[in-house]
Structure 1
Amino acid sequence: MGSYRFLLSRRWLLFGVVVILLSTFAWWLGEWQFGRLDEKKSSNSVVRTNENLPPAPVAEVLSPDQDVDPADEWRRVEATGTYDVDHTVVVRYRSNDDGAPGVQVVVPLVTDEGLSLAVDRGFLATDARSLAGIEVPPAPTGEVTVVGWVRVDGTGASTAVDLEPDGLSTRAISSDRIAQAVGRPFYDGFVDVETENGEPASGLAAHDLPDLGNGPHFFYGLQWWFFGVLALFGFGYLAYDERRRGPRGERQRPTRNPRPDRPDRPVKEKKVRQTNVRREFQRR
């Protein structure tokens, strides 16, 4: 056996740096996954708490000039008013849990306080490519009491509200963008309807509550850490192997017996067949 002085060579130093970088990156990815797991647990705790609270008046939870507190998302609120069906907003390019295409139907609810509340009444399965091919189930007329789950507004360019010949449409719900299109003040955030006058929204699929599972983050974190440890173990094994047997490119290959008629051409060693049959009874 030799020494480990070869580890000071340029080849092994570069190899070691690469292994350390890969192991560090794998460790960081594992930490990131476990951080995601902590965030998921914290979010699930908020949702569980809010789901079990009784509905609160909408003015106690939402405000027209303040963003929705993340701790209030999925809190149930109650509001009474009249649906403004003339300003119905269709949210395009949606799908349900089965992957069926469709749209979300958002209708402003004008409350007695004069503020409007964006109410997502539910999912409508449709293959229509334009608003002209969408027949939206009618919202209740007259005064209606809505109970629903508080949601945080979407962000980005997808929240832009487009005015089409057949109505308003968007790709993500933002009460600020809807307020600009309608020309009235709105509560910040929106509501996924649970009931209208004590009944589910007619003709529309109800919203699903969020999944409260922890997801795959724990196992993903363990996998990344395993990859980091595996890289270090592989480096150590290769170093031990080179110390014991020398560099791979300089190792002497085992010799073979040459053939008598072709001394320049090596032949493989003949393997001895292992058997319990006596020699005189063996097949020649």
Structure 2
Amino acid sequence: MYRFVLTRQWVCLTLIALVLIPVMIKLGFWQFHRHEHRVAQNELIAANLRAKPVPVTEVTSPGHRVPRADFWRTVTATGTYDTAHEVVVRMRTSADDKVGFHVVTPLVLADGRVVLVNRGWVPGGDDPRAYPPVPAAPTGEVTVTGRLKADETSGGSGIKDRKGLPDRQVMLINSAQQAESLGRPVLGGYLELDRTAASDGGPETIPEPDHDSIGPHMAYAVQWWLFTGAVPAGWLVLVRREKREREEAAAAGEAAGPGSGADREPATA
């Protein structure tokens, strides 16, 4: 009674179902791993933000590649701002998604080394190719507190490092690039100025990264796995419906019988 599942139509339908099941299982695990990654990242951010601030020179040095374990680590630095070599980073957004610039000012430490400080966001001026209006950095020796970030690269950020930009404008915050223009050793990575440490009237500081939301990935994983269970269940429902329809059609044919009026030839005069 189930021989119809061997027909071409049903074989194709069954093969499609067999392909969908592992694909949906894999998609579910993909979303589950994204959920795990988000949870681990939130824990890392929260732990590094809560950690006691340490001098930036204890966690990075010239040419140092900041490891993931040190991302968002709270650090301090004492020195003098070198505003003559300040640059702005193009195409950066504010907390309310307005497009403008990040202001990166070198901070010269007592030993002559430099750490890049992202002082925050400013809007662009009337001329997009001109250096935007930037609030002046504090003068004299200052101590700043911020979050340690890794050097930006095109591969890691997805931002194309364009050439031929206007003077003192860049696309990426990169210590190696700035070391070339400064002619000084620059500590790897950069310091993102903390809101509590920013001076009034300065650039709009960058808020802390979100470390409370876990996103919808776990819900998506469960959804894909439910879809996985729905495929064989749906196939079974279709099989049973097909069987019932075939039985009803066979029963109707038997009820009509070979001698029914429907099978007789019309009478001739």
Q: What TM-score results when the alignment is normalised by the length of structure 1? A: 0.79
Higher alpha-carbon Rg? 1
Q: Aligned equivalents of 1:232 and 1:127: distance in 2?
A: 60
Q: Secondary structure at the match of 2:189?
A: strand
Which residue of structure 1 aligns with residue 223 of structure 2? 223
What residue ranges of structure 1 are gaps of 5+ in the alignment?
254-284
Q: Distance in 2 between matches of 1:240 and 1:214?
A: 42
AA matched with 1:200 = S
Contact 1:34 1:218 in 2 (8 A): yes
SS of aligned partner of 1:132: coil
Higher deviation after alignment, 9-18 or 208-217: 9-18
For residues 34 and 195 of structure 1, do their structure 2 counterparts lie closer, same or farther at Cα, with a shift above 3 Å needed? Answer: closer
Deviation digits for residues 75-129 of structure 1 (CA, Å, limit 9, x no counterpart): 1111111211122111111222322222110111111222211110001123545
Give the C-alpha shift of residue 22 in structure 1. 1.8
Counterpart amino acid of 2:181? Answer: A
Matched with 2:190 is 190
Residue 39 of structure 2 is aligned to residue 41 of structure 1: yes
In the alignment, what sits opposite 1:205?
204
CA contact under 8 A between 1:83 and 1:109: conserved in structure 2?
Answer: yes
- Structure that is richer in helix per residue: 2
Match of 1:55 in 2: 53
In the TM superposition, 1:89-238 aligns within 5 A as 89-126=87-124, 128-132=126-130, 134-156=132-154, 158=159, 160=161, 162=163, 164=165, 167-194=167-194, 199-200=198-199, 202-212=201-211, 213-238=213-238
Q: Which is worse superposed, 169-178 or 85-94?
A: 169-178
TM-score using structure 2 length: 0.83
Pairwise CA RMSD of aligned residues? Answer: 2.7
1:10-49 aligned at under 5 Å gives the runs 10-49=8-47
* Deviations 1:29-87 (CA, angstroms, capped at 9, x unpaired): 11111101111111111111111112101111112232101111111111111211122
Separation in 2, partners of 1:201, 1:228:
56
Tell me, yes or no, if the aligned pair for 1:162 and 1:169 is still in contact at 8 Å.
no
Does structure 1 retain, via aligned residues, the 8 Å contact 2:195–2:207?
no
- Percent sequence identity over aligned pairs: 35
Classify the secondary structure of the residue corresponding to 2:184: coil
Q: 2:125–2:133: 8 Å Cα contact kept in structure 1? A: no
Please say if residues 150 and 189 of structure 1, whose CA atoms lie closer than 8 Å, have aligned partners that are also in contact.
yes
